[in-house]
Structure formats: structure tokens, C-alpha cells
Amino acid sequence: MKVKPNTFLVAAALIFGVAAGIYLGNNGFGALPFVKQVEAAGGAVKSPTGEVPDRYVYYPGTEELGPDEMRVIACGTGMPAARRGQAATCFLVELGNGDKFLFDIGTGSMANVASLMIPCDYLDQVFLSHLHTDHWGDFDALWTGGWTAGRTEALRIWGPSGARPEMGIKAAMDGFMKTFHWDYITRLQKLSAVPGTIEVHEFDYMGENQVVYGENGVTIRSWPAIHSGDGSVSYALYWNGYKFVFGGDTFPNKWFNKYAKDADLAVHECMMLPQGGVDFYNQAPPVALYVFTQIHTSPQAFGKIMSTIKPRHAVAFHFFNEEGTRYGVYEGVREVYDGPLSLATDLMVWNITRDGVTERMAAVTEEAWSVPGAKEPPAGKPGQVPPQLSKEIEAGMFDVSDVEKQMVGDFMKKYDLQPRKKK
């Protein structure tokens, strides 16, 4: 006998699905598949406080990634004018072999990365699509944040060359270290030097489907993208028979159509309509039309691309996903493309298996702490650089040793620490 589903559960499921932010997924509305599953179960879920099947929420740190599984998390999906609810571009790829890769690290995205509570040692491989700030503006937070929070190895970064030497990733990293020299040298007094090192891998931006990374069964290839100026690229990651494609910022181009085919998950930019640039983004009409259709990819153009490459699942990003924009974007894409689609927003999650691609939202804490990794955090090496405080500034110190004596003594005893000798 078929039992009708619990009315409360069905209503709760609808509210929960919308509240979770699952907008316009495979079936257009993310909550509906859950309701169908409750119905299919014959109302088997008897308690609203019990665990429901196939949850539409991902809780970081609670699910072991299967050895034959890939997970992708959107840590930034927005635009250069950062806003609290949506950071700039960043996608985290996690593989069943334990490897993790960051594709871009745009402004504001590090807070979302940190909310996943992944040990810093596993966040040391970054692939930049290009050097606009909304694609690498939080690199400083990843660099110094990981260094101070226990990363044990150098931070590794891959990125394209430029039309001229000063336009490539190597020049950018040289400039980065000069800009942040005060930060680097003052931390070096107390912290281990190795995690503060940046290991740069620059490759030819003109390379067509070239291998730029090959380790531990993972291959990453790049090809040129068309965006603002020479020096932008797109990537494809291959592992265990899976293919993840990250377009970065790009106008529709022949290389993406050729090399992104048959991706399990294809992430490509999709700007809102030009009218949205006028109404919401404070742009003059000619600027909005040019930027959203010549520098970037329109919803209709995104739809044509996906109809051409036919991925298992398409992901549109690079617009502020809200009531005023998402429906125009969705309708524009659907004029041309009718396949599986996600309109990305921050902390959207895709699990990729042989059986299919599942979209959910991550539920994270606002007060995440760094999580210990497999290695002990490195101790500093006093004396590796000269003191950075002058005698005149040191002379201004206020003596608090009397009130700290007990606390400091207990701490040193607990960890068997010896006082450092004064020079």
C-alpha cells in the first residue's frame, strides 16, 4: 500500500531547499527532487528530527570523499566589486586520491575557503587563469594566512606568461614579494621560512592543450582564453577518467569548444544581461554592452558553448546571483541550451561520480579555525634575519612580565620549552 508523504516533511523540504540556495538546478528548482524522493519512499521518513535521505546540504568535514569521486566547491563566483554575500572567482577541486587544487583565488574568496576547515598543507596548489584582481586578489590571504596557521611547505602557484615578460605570472609574483616585503621579513623573525616561500610555475599562455601539471595520476592542461589582453588561459583537470574544466574569464573561443568537450563538470563564465549592468552595476549603457558581450560571455553565448561541448553538467558563474539577475541569465541560457545546469553562487558543491553529478550547498560556520594537518606545524628559527625593531622602538615597551609570569611559565612547562637567550 502506498502511504502519502508526511505533509510537514514535504513543506519543510520545499522551504529547506529554497533556503539552502539551490536555485535553478537540474530541474529548475532544487527542492523538488527531495520532495519526489520523500514520495518515492512512501513517507518512510517518520520524524522531522531524523536524518533525511540524500540531503541537499554538504557539511564540510563530515563526508569522506570516495576513492572514485571528485568534489568541486565554489568559493567565489561573483564580480570585481566585492560584496559580502558573494566573493570573486575561486573553485576548489578535491579528488578521491587526497589531492586538492584551487583554480583562481579572487577577492574575498579566502573566507569561504577557510570556512571549509581544510588543513593548510592541502591548500598549497593554485592555478591562476589570469591576473585580474577578482581572480587572484586573495592570494595574499592564502599565502600569509596559511603560513601563520601551520602550513609546512612552500605555496605553489601555476599561471600563464604574458605578451611581455612583465605581464606574466613570474613577474607578478616577483612584484608581490616586493610589495609584501615588510610582511615577509617581519614574520620571518619568528616563523619558519619554508612555508613563506612561493614556488612559481610559469607556462606559455599560447600553448594549446599543453600539459602544465602531472603528478599523482592528475594531469592539468591549459589553452588560450580571450579576455582583455593576451595572457589569459582556461584549464582542464583529468583524473581517474574524470574531466573538470575551468574556463576562467573568456569570450567564446574555438579552443574551449575543442578541448572542453565531454567534461564531467564544465565551469564557464556567464555574465548577466547588459541591462543588469546598467540597472545594478552602475555602468553606462555602451560600457555594459561592450563588457558583457565582447570582453565576457553573455547568457545566450554561454548556452551555445554548452550546446556545443555537451558536458555532463554545466556551471555558469561570474555574475551576482540574486532575484534581479538570475532569471534573466537562466532564460538567456535556456534559449540555446537545455542540458544539466547550475547557476553558481558561493559555497555551491558538486559531487561527481560514475552515477552522476549532484549539486548541493555547503553549510559552514562563520567562526572556522584552522585544522591540524598530517605534519607538525613548523617552529621558527630565531636569528635567520636581523631584528626588525630598532632599539629606539624597543625602548618604548611596557613591562608586563609580572602579570604574565605564571601563565607563561605554565605554558613553557607544558610544552617543555626553554627560554630563548637574549643577544
| DSSP per residue, 300-343 | HHHHHHHHHH--SSEEEESS--STTTHHHHHHHHHTT--S-EEE
**DSSP H or E stretch at residue 133:** helix 133-136
Distance, first Cα to last Cα, the chain: 84
Give the Å distances, CA to CA, from 317 to 54, 57, 135, 278, 280: 25, 20, 13, 19, 17
Q: Are strands 341-343 and 314-317 parallel, antiparallel or unpaired?
A: parallel
Q: Are strands 210-215 and 198-203 parallel, antiparallel or unpaired?
A: unpaired
- From the list 359, 361, 370, 321, the residue with the least C-alpha distance to 343 is 321
| 155: amino acid identity, one letter | L
Q: How confident is the model at residue 309 (pLDDT cuts 50, 70, 90)?
A: very high
Question: What is residue 38's predicted lDDT score, i.e. its pLDDT?
Answer: 55
Among 6-15, 101-110, 397-406, where is mean pLDDT lowest? Answer: 6-15
Q: How far is residue 151's CA from residue 154's CA, in Å, rounded to a whole number? A: 8
Q: How far is residue 348's CA from residue 363's CA, in Å, rounded to a whole number? A: 10
Coil vs helix vs strand at 237: strand
Residues 6+ apart with CB under 8 A from 80: 88, 107, 132, 133, 134
- From the list 341, 330, 267, 271, the residue with the least C-alpha distance to 103 is 267
pTM: 0.87
pLDDT above 50: residue 10: no
pLDDT above 60: residue 32: no
Q: Where are the domains of the chain?
A: 1-55, 57-362
CB 68 within 8 A of CB 372: no
Q: Quick one: 210 exposed, middle or buried, by C-beta within 10 A (0-12, 13-18, 19+)? A: middle
Q: How far is residue 100's CA from residue 124's CA, in Å, rounded to a whole number? A: 8
pLDDT above 50: residue 3: no
Residue position matching grid coordinates 602531472: 214
The x, y and z cell numbers of residue 13, run together, are 523540504
CB 361 within 8 A of CB 58: yes
Question: What is residue 47's predicted lDDT score, i.e. its pLDDT?
Answer: 58
Mean pLDDT on 13-34: 40
pLDDT above 80: residue 139: yes
Question: What is residue 17's predicted lDDT score, i.e. its pLDDT?
Answer: 42
Question: What is residue 43's predicted lDDT score, i.e. its pLDDT?
Answer: 57
What percentage of the chain reaches a pLDDT higher than 70?
A: 86
Q: How far is residue 137's CA from residue 27's CA, in Å, rounded to a whole number? A: 35
Question: What is residue 380's predicted lDDT score, i.e. its pLDDT?
Answer: 82
Strand order in the sheet with 218-224: 210-215, 218-224, 233-239, 242-246, 265-269, 314-317, 341-343
pLDDT above 60: residue 311: yes
E strands within 6-80? 57-58, 70-76
Question: What is residue 46's predicted lDDT score, i.e. its pLDDT?
Answer: 56
pLDDT in tens, 15-25: 344 344 333 44
Coil vs helix vs strand at 396: coil
E strands within 163-318? 198-203, 210-215, 218-224, 233-239, 242-246, 265-269, 314-317
β-partners of residue 348 are: 361
pLDDT above 80: residue 299: yes
Residue position matching grid coordinates 606568461: 161
Decide which of 3.40.50.300, 3.50.50.60, 3.40.630.30, 3.60.15.10 is the CATH code for 57-362: 3.60.15.10
Mean pLDDT on 199-205: 98
Q: How far is residue 40's CA from residue 49's CA, in Å, rounded to a whole number? A: 20
Mean pLDDT on 211-237: 97
The larger pLDDT score, comparing residue 81 to residue 73, is at 73
Residues 6+ apart with CB under 8 A from 136: 104, 105, 106, 128, 172
Mean pLDDT computed over every residue of the chain: 89
Question: What is residue 41's predicted lDDT score, i.e. its pLDDT?
Answer: 54
β-partners of residue 358 are: 351
Angle subtended at Cα 225 by Cα 208 and Cα 310, rounded to the nearest 5 degrees: 85
